[in-house]
Amino acid sequence: MSWIEMLCLGCAVVGSAVLVLQTVMSLFGGDHGDMGHDVGDPSGHDAAANLISVRSVSAFIAFFGLSSWGCLKSGWSPLAALAVGLLAGLVMLVAVALLFRLPSKMHSEGNIEPEGAVGRVGHVYLRIPANNNGKGKITLVLQGRTAEFHACTRGPEIPTGAEVRIARLITSDTFEVEPLS
């Protein structure tokens, strides 16, 4: 076996071993150290830092070694085998970086913004007393979730089950509503 085949096989073994070790650590909750985190901005906003993580670099080394070694064993010239290995490694480096960046883009605060409810239709959950003489409750779908808010009205009493239109936001959890019918 030539020195270049040994180098490629060594890269494949080392890169694969690191990837397997990280996978096992992830399965058992031990992936909290430096091996599982990207270098750079911890908030994930540094796009270049996502490429330079232990996972992505070990994927590069593993696929560089495997593809180069496979090409050499198939009779390719060393230069062509290394070029294919470099390309395969770069593709995996970028693929792993993108895959591990996807969950960070799924972040959401989860806060409902009641201002977006004005003009929408809701349903009375607890009757709303007439002439602002108390509060009832309404439910409505807001930002893809069913939410419950306090409600009052200037007009006549609105019974449970009636549909109402949100007229305005009074406080962060109270709306003025109008009956639809």
Identity of the highest mean pLDDT range in 34-38, 108-112, 170-174:
170-174
Q: Which of 77, 105, 133 is the last residue of a domain?
A: 105
Residue 45 pLDDT > 70:
no
**pLDDT 10s digits, 114-144:** 888 999 999 999 999 999 999 999 999 988 8
Segments forming the whole domain that contains residue 130: 114-179
Q: Classify the C-alpha dihedral 74-69-48-23 as positive or negative.
A: positive
**pLDDT tier for residue 43 given thresholds of 50, 70 and 90:** very low
- The domain that holds 122 is classified in CATH as 2.40.50.140
In sequence order, what are the residues at sequence separation of 6 or more whose Cβ sits closer than 8 angstroms to the Cβ of residue 131? 153, 154, 155
Q: Which of 84, 105, 126 is the last residue of a domain?
A: 105
**91 and 144 belong to one structural domain:** no
**34 and 100 belong to one structural domain:** yes
**CB-based contact 138:113 (threshold 8 Å):** no
160 CB neighbour count, 10 Å cutoff: 12
Q: Which of 81, 105, 129 is the last residue of a domain?
A: 105
**Gap between the Cα atoms of 69 and 62, Å rounded:** 11
**pLDDT 10s digits, 49-60:** 567 788 889 999
**67 and 87 belong to one structural domain:** yes
**73 and 21 belong to one structural domain:** yes
**pLDDT tier for residue 157 given thresholds of 50, 70 and 90:** very high
**53 and 74 belong to one structural domain:** yes
Domain count, the chain: 2
**Gap between the Cα atoms of 85 and 64, Å rounded:** 4
**29 and 85 belong to one structural domain:** yes
**Gap between the Cα atoms of 48 and 79, Å rounded:** 28
Q: Which of 166, 152, 76 is nearest to 121 (CA)?
A: 166
| Threshold 0.75, pTM exceeds | no
177 CB neighbour count, 10 Å cutoff: 27
